[in-house]
Amino acid sequence: ASGSSSLSSASCNYSKIEEDDDRIINLQLGDPTVYERYWQEMGDVTTMVIPGWQSLSYLSDKNNLCWFLEPELGKEIIRVHKVVGNAVTQDRFIVVGTGSTQLYQAALYALSPHDDSGPINVVSAAPYYSSYPLITDCLKSGLYRWGGDAMAYKEEIPYIELVTSPNNPDGFLRQPVVNRSKGVLIHDLAYYWPQYTPIISAADHDVMLFTVSKSTGHAGMRIGWALVKDRETAEKMTDYIELNTIGVSKDSQLRAAKVLKVVSDSCGNETAKSFFDHSYDVMSERWKLLKQAVKSSKRFTVPDFASQRCNFFGKVFEAQPAFAWFKCEEGILDCERFLREEKKILTKSGKHFGDEQSYVRISMLDRDTNFNIFIHRISSSFNSTI
């Protein structure tokens, strides 16, 4: 690990932000480009050369339940969870996917009844991740259908509840909310990493989804993994991925294994700054700047988080999520429109998350330049019409 001092946290150099710089800042997606700087500074440690004769076979390990999982990736997944302490891996099956997006669909396929009882309802407490309803209903499956806000779910029939913890968009740690039998749970733990939230215990649920997109920032590699307790569920998820894409890119799996190895190695390296030390510091600095800007503007609010002890860092801190669940006050009813028209900042309206339009979701994971312009604009009287 380089551990270079240039990996210090992001600083907001307002002098570099021209008052008349009125470019459009797009913070709609959770594109994790904030991590580019760390990986650039790390130089060649994650560089790989893949010869042309490699990755010809569809198969990775025919003795494994998930026969397309590269053994090296399986090993590094177990190791990183052990290092961070954020999930139980013992006696679990690992299913690799093209992002956790594919694994979400594989889990729906595996957990839905395949008899003629009709599509099972899939619910999640609002505000929920905006892609869930779209992915769930895009093929109008006969197996499952989007059932909306889990808080409002009253039916006495089987259901699948999605628990995203920490939650996208608002960053809170979550528990299931439907208090009924006949429910099956999928835990989406994409953000359960110590740069975003205190690691309070090793998660121990039936189906847990993770991804490199939000842990190491390699969203473009398209690698996610599921930790699954039940053999039959893991088999069905594997079957789905076989039907859907006949496995998952081996090249991407090998790169993901290398990146995860470097992350785990960096945690044990006393002399250099670890990946999580670096990313924690960046998120902490960004949330400090955001809270100051919001306070000085008086027009906006962001959620308050309780302080909790993190077993990984061995210290107490408040969540510093990947997104800000940002509310416009002072009678601004359409926050997305206000920020777009007055501040030239593109965000995602609360309506996509099953909530009010006075809320928007703002990515906290963009590059420093865009983040700094965003902070500058919400704390100043910047007005695009001037």
**Residues that bind ligand PMP in the complex, under the rule CB under 6 A:** 30, 99-101, 129, 164, 168, 188, 190, 211, 213, 219, 224
CB of 365 to ligand PMP, least distance (A): 10
Q: What are the helix (H) ranges across 112-168? A: 131-137
Q: How far apart are CA 226 and CA 92, in angstroms?
A: 9
Nearer to ligand PMP, 100 or 372 (CB): 100
Which residues have C-beta within 8 Å of that of residue 37, sequence separation ≥ 6? 7, 367, 368
Nearer to ligand PMP, 190 or 362 (CB): 190
CB of 331 to ligand PMP, least distance (A): 30
Q: How far apart are CA 361 and CA 32, in angstroms?
A: 15
Q: How far apart are CA 317 and CA 199, in angstroms?
A: 10
Q: How far apart are CA 5 and CA 8, in angstroms?
A: 6
Nearer to ligand PMP, 321 or 344 (CB): 321
Q: How far apart are CA 169 and CA 360, in angstroms?
A: 9
Nearer to ligand PMP, 10 or 322 (CB): 322
CB of 133 to ligand PMP, least distance (A): 13
Element (H, E) at 32: none
Nearer to ligand PMP, 186 or 302 (CB): 186
CB of 160 to ligand PMP, least distance (A): 15
Nearer to ligand PMP, 100 or 279 (CB): 100
Beta strands 120-124; 144-149: pairing state: parallel
Closest CA to 368 of 126, 4, 8, 120: 8
CB of 102 to ligand PMP, least distance (A): 7
CB of 100 to ligand PMP, least distance (A): 4
Closest residue to ligand PMP using C-beta atoms: 99
Contact 340, 346 (CB under 8 A): yes
